[in-house]
Amino acid sequence: MTEATAAVAHDHPHAGIMRWLTTTNHKDLGILYMSFGGIMFFVGGLFIMAVRAELLYPGLQLLSPGMYNQLFTLHALIMVFGAIMPFATGLNNYLIPLMIGAPDMALPRVNNWGFWILPFAAVLLLIPFFLQFFGTGSGATGLGWMMHNTTLDIQSGIGIDFAIFTILLLGVSSLTGAINVVVTALNMRAPGMVLMKMPLFVWAWLITAFMLILAMPVFSAAATMLLTDRHFGTHFFDAANGGDPILLQHLIWFFGHPEVYIVLLPAWGLIPHILATFSRKPVYGYRAQVYALCAICFLSFIVWSHHMLTSGLPLAAEVYFMYATMAISVPTSVLVFCWLGAIWRGAMTFETPMLFALGFVAHFGMGALTGLVLPDVAVNAQHHNSYVLVAHFHYTFFGGGIFGMMAALYYWLPKFTGHMFDEKLGRLHFWLTVISFNITFIPQWFAGLDGMPRHVADYALRFSAMNFISSVGAFLLGLTQLLLVYIVVRCVRGGPKATGQVWEGAQGLEFTLPSPPPYHTFETPPEVK
Amino acid sequence: MNEHEKRERRTVWLVVALMLLVAVIYAATFIKLPVWLPALK
């Protein structure tokens, strides 16, 4: 290819499917990541609908306990690794270069590779689930999203092995993406954009990327050890041969707790932008938020065993992990007060992104507050493995992560598509989501406080009412999300033209570009003052 | 060396350093953590 033809090929995307298979453009890859995350959100949602249908009434109606285990495990793995993380990665792909005035991510080809690993990983995870219906294998993994409810004998068969290979593939994808973000943020900023002028979303993703780089190799190594224990005669976790099953819990939670923040930090980074825009004020407490995010990153690596307080740790370790975990509430409170400071006496309007951002603050606040109580050793002894835990982490993951992602989707959707979405439908989607989300998860607090254990397909009669309400809420929550699909598809197909700035109070380099931005942007870097 | 070349060079060094960090953590998990983490018991 001559330089001239290469330049033409670079300037214009391929037509049709080849554009999406071969693209190295950060906007294309951002859309691919977000679309993949959106599709997997519905796949994971379908699995949990089956689970909630089983829990509608006591007794076993629809699913065997083994099938139930597979469905909630797949729901969790898909929602965390297949939906929220890829969607947040899509946002970083699309937005980071625009926010820092870079022409693209630093490693565009690696970016393409990182994305196209994901569909194969998803297929690998799901294959054993479908194979069991044709009489092959014993189904997908049913050990929970952190896979440590295991001794080697609990589940044999191909499901766990497929899950292990899925984790290894996801690890490669996440690490390439993380390295790309670090190099882009540190090395591709426009002249004048010093680190302390970088948008908070970019800061949050820079810190998230470092967390992935530090935590993901441990998870991959733990998965590899599990694989070698199962098939190659090693005894890392095999107590019968001198290994230590608790070691698997340590290794997995050493990744698993930072992973909670890996899911949440991107949302924490974008919420200040949205609150500031619709309050017509600058971002409040910029430096404080940067330092708080860094502090949370550090603390997240030294608190992992609060997930294992009932596993027989020595008292000194339990007390340490209790206080260290509670210490996270300090930087988290800094963030929450900065978010409230952003809207304090602001000229607020309540468009859909603002509603979801405020919904995020309220619901994540409930998740965070209960997160402050749960590491208390005595409380944890009562509530560990109960539905209190299920409610708690859904208030953080859904109330924090997914509300945050929805706020971001509505905020930047007109920028991505060039069209405004239907505001009335957006608000309807918000209120239906809030109502159905709380109908689903508030009863789970009560069921848990009353002693209902999680990971069970059947339950005692006294939990019937709470489970019935929770299931009805879950069905409504699932149906409500179809409205989101309608809103997004309608916005992509047309609608009132969006201006470059989109929202009256919007600030940032991405809003200096037309909507949608041209295929290539900032080939000449802007000067940031 | 112009600014573009300097940036490319920094990119290569950063990528190599981060990949090495990943490899070291992965290896340390295998070699070291099984030794000292059980001490928490």
CB contact under 8 A, A213 and B30: no
CB contact under 8 A, B40 and A313: yes
Structure tokens at A191: 């002249």
Percent of chain B with pLDDT over 70: 76
Q: Is the pLDDT of residue A9 over 60?
A: no
Contacting residues of B for A101, CB less than 8 Å apart: none
Closest-CA residue of chain B to A317: B40
Whole-angstrom Cα distance, residue A64 to residue A529?
Answer: 62
Ranges of beta strands (E only) in A143-268 are none
A214 min Cα distance to partner chain B (Å): 7
Question: pLDDT digits over A335-392, tens only?
Answer: 999 999 999 999 999 999 999 999 999 999 999 999 999 999 999 999 988 999 999 9
For chain A, the domains span 23-512
Give the per-residue pLDDT at A77: 93
Query: Looking at this protein, which amino acid is placed at residue A167?
Result: I
Whole-angstrom Cα distance, residue A516 to residue A10?
Answer: 19
pLDDT grade, residue A8 (50/70/90)? very low
How far, in whole angstroms, is CA A36 from its chain's centroid? 13
pLDDT grade, residue A479 (50/70/90)? very high
Percent of chain A with pLDDT over 90: 79
CB contact under 8 A, B25 and A214: yes
Whole-angstrom Cα distance, residue A119 to residue A40?
Answer: 10
> Across the interface, which of A217, A314, A317 has its CB nearest the CB of B29?
A217
CA dihedral A74, A52, A396, A483 (to 10 degrees): 90
Closest-CA residue of chain A to B15: A179
For A23-512, CATH number?
1.20.210.10
Q: Which long-range contacts (CB under 8 A, 24 or more apart) does A423-432 make?
A: A423/A351, A423/A352, A425/A483, A425/A486, A425/A487, A426/A351, A426/A352, A426/A355, A426/A487, A427/A352, A427/A355, A428/A483, A429/A352, A429/A480, A429/A483, A429/A484, A429/A487, A430/A352, A430/A355, A430/A356, A430/A359, A432/A476, A432/A480, A432/A483
CB contact under 8 A, A213 and B37: no
CB contact under 8 A, A213 and B15: no
Give the per-residue pLDDT at A4: 43
Q: Is the pLDDT of residue A500 over 90?
A: yes
Q: Is the pLDDT of residue A24 over 60?
A: yes
Structure tokens at A189: 């900023």
Which comes out higher in pLDDT, residue A257 or A11? A257
CB contact under 8 A, B14 and A183: yes
Give the per-residue pLDDT at A246: 85
Give the per-residue pLDDT at B30: 81
CB contact under 8 A, B22 and A175: yes
Structure tokens at A282: 């600058």
CB contact under 8 A, A224 and B19: no
CB contact under 8 A, A183 and B18: yes
Nearest to A335 by CA among A401, A387, A287: A287
pLDDT grade, residue A427 (50/70/90)? very high
CB contact under 8 A, B38 and A244: yes
Question: pLDDT digits over A252-296, tens only?
Answer: 999 999 999 999 999 999 999 999 999 999 999 999 999 999 999
Which chain A residues touch B if contact means CB-CB below 8 Å? 106-107, 175, 179, 182-183, 186-188, 213-214, 216-218, 220-222, 224-225, 236, 244, 246-247, 250-251, 305, 312-314, 317
Q: Is B26 on the interface with A (CB under 8 A)?
A: yes
CB contact under 8 A, A244 and B11: no
Contacting residues of A for B25, CB less than 8 Å apart: 213-214, 217-218, 221
Question: pLDDT digits over A42-86, tens only?
Answer: 999 999 999 999 999 999 999 999 899 999 999 999 999 999 999
Q: Is B36 on the interface with A (CB under 8 A)?
A: no
Q: Is B13 on the interface with A (CB under 8 A)?
A: no
CB contact under 8 A, B26 and A220: yes
Ranges of beta strands (E only) in A272-364 are none
Nearest to A513 by CA among A504, A522, A503, A505: A522
Question: pLDDT digits over A112-137, tens only?
Answer: 999 999 999 999 999 999 999 998 88
Q: Is B40 on the interface with A (CB under 8 A)?
A: yes
Nearest to A511 by CA among A180, A95, A208, A149: A95
Predicted TM-score (pTM) of the model is: 0.93
Give the per-residue pLDDT at A486: 97
Give the per-residue pLDDT at A334: 96
Contacting residues of B for A107, CB less than 8 Å apart: 11, 15
Burial class for A313, CB neighbours closer than 10 Å (0-12, 13-18, 19+): buried
Structure tokens at A148: 């440590």
> Across the interface, which of B7, B26, B37 has its CB nearest the CB of A187?
B7
B1 min Cα distance to partner chain A (Å): 16
Query: Looking at this protein, which amino acid is placed at residue A313?
Result: L
Report ipTM for this prediction. 0.86
Question: pLDDT digits over A144-163, tens only?
Answer: 777 766 444 455 678 889 99
| SS3 state at A16 | coil
A183 min Cα distance to partner chain B (Å): 6
